Structure 1
Amino acid sequence: MSEPQGEPVDSPVGWVNEHIKQYDESGGTEGHEWNGVPTLLLTVTGRRTGTPRRTALIYGEDDGNYVIVASKGGAPDHPVWYLNLQADPDVEIQVGPQKLAAKARTADADEKARLWPKMAEIWPAYDEYATKTDRDIPVVILEPQR
């Protein structure tokens, strides 16, 4: 991640902000599981401000990597966190109590074809979200930097 400038700014969406707060304050012991699915905290660098920005996202695992979906509920535009990681793919993630640096990249067409069904199995609404938008919803692979 680029030189962070202070504490992360958490998602302004009320319920997401509460989820992040619970996750963070418990050191990842609470909040990792949300509505029966695993979640991680993703911190990206703001592409215009350089400010660290944090959100909570559903994830899957694949060959030692973490997989997230930039669905934004099927909205016509990409989520801001995705635009930020495109500008700076060096991110930080917290998975339960574990915090680590990761490199983010958008899955290519073959990877997406393989990973989308796995993610839709975790969160079936992804298939519905895909029908609500004309944009190609990105699948993002987070590769831990060990």
Structure 2
Amino acid sequence: MPNDFNQQVIEEFRANGGRVGGPFEGGRLLLLTTTGARTGAPHTTPLAYLPDGERVLVIASAGGSPRHPHWYLNLLADPRVTLENGVFTYQAKAVVLEGAERDAAFARAVETDPGWAAYESSSGRTLPVVALETVPGVMPTHTASSFGQALKAIHDAFRRELALIRKEAATAGPGLGVQLRVNCLSVCGSLHHHHTMEDSGMFPSLAGQRPELAPVIERLGEEHRRIADLMARLQEVVSAEGAEPAAVLAEVERLTEELESHLTYEEEQLIPILDGAATT
């Protein structure tokens, strides 16, 4: 069973779409559910994570304890895990990174937060870094009360991630850190996937059901194209040799401004339709 603190975080996370206060406030947090190596029972733990493209990374720090945390021992026995990110619950496979890949990932974590190095030093062990990779072909689920609220939750997740990246870029020292670059590329990849799914699925479906939405769908599609151009510019800047955080921040702010206008308009126009369709 999780301790009282973890249980409080878990309940707050689930009640507020992934948002929590206390030491995790304003950070990247997920819930990892493993299968107990000895008991076979599900065991849920809140963990900080690092974006890493289509997967995420977690570190078995146990707060600097000399012993590996239970969740890590559990996934060694059974790498099939469940992740909750505040929007979706999905199945993943845990892969323990080794050698140079592990060292590079841990260096990125330390670059972001030197506390990881302090944990490793006090623990007396090499902290394992674990990649959590989505299981292909298994559809994620969401706990939103309606399709419209699910869309709002997805939008809010993008808002939170871009706000974190803006903060990271604004407070970074000279030279663009590797993890900040990865964070930018990861959110661009996720946003591209979301817009592609809308363009190929939700928008054509709504247009077919509600012909009067044609001007709205056309505007949203055009906004997707403008946002894609801004993401391409951001990707170009973060990938350039000698990139500086200030240049990245300027591009992230341009993207955020355009995206916020787009998300607000989409919510105003489509959430009433989606929620109405769900009740008819």
TM-score calculated relative to the size of structure 2: 0.46
Taking structure 1 as reference, are residues 56 and 127 closer, same or farther at Cα in structure 2, changes over 3 Å only? same
Query: Greater shift after overlay, 17-26 or 58-67?
Result: 17-26
- Deviation per residue, 1:50-99 (Å, 9 max, x gap): 10000100001112111000001111100000000000000000112111
- Structure showing the higher helix proportion among its residues: 2
Aligned match for 1:91, one of 74, 81, 86: 81
Look up the match of 2:57. Answer: 67
Is 1:30–2:19 an aligned residue pair? yes
Look up the match of 1:44. Answer: 34
Q: Distance in 1 between matches of 2:113 and 2:78?
A: 27
The one-letter code sitting in structure 2 at the alignment partner of 1:59 is Y
Is 1:135–2:125 an aligned residue pair? yes
Report % sequence identity. 35
Look up the match of 2:191. Answer: none
Look up the match of 2:101. Answer: 111
Is 1:53–2:35 an aligned residue pair? no
Query: Greater shift after overlay, 78-87 or 93-102?
Result: 93-102
Look up the match of 1:20. Answer: 10
Q: Distance in 1 between matches of 2:86 and 2:112?
A: 17
- Structure showing the higher strand proportion among its residues: 1
Number of aligned residue pairs: 135
Shift of 1:29: 4.2
8 Å contact from structure 1 (residues 59, 119) kept in 2: no
- Give the root-mean-square deviation of aligned CA atoms: 1.8
For the pair shown, which has the larger CA radius of gyration, 1 or 2? 2
Name structure 1 gaps, 5 residues minimum.
Answer: 1-8
Asked which structure has the greater RCO (Cα within 8 Å, sep 6+), the reply is 1
Taking structure 1 as reference, are residues 37 and 112 closer, same or farther at Cα in structure 2, changes over 3 Å only? same
TM-score calculated relative to the size of structure 1: 0.85
Q: Distance in 1 between matches of 2:31 and 2:99?
A: 25
8 Å contact from structure 1 (residues 37, 122) kept in 2: no
Q: Distance in 2 between matches of 1:62 and 1:55?
A: 20
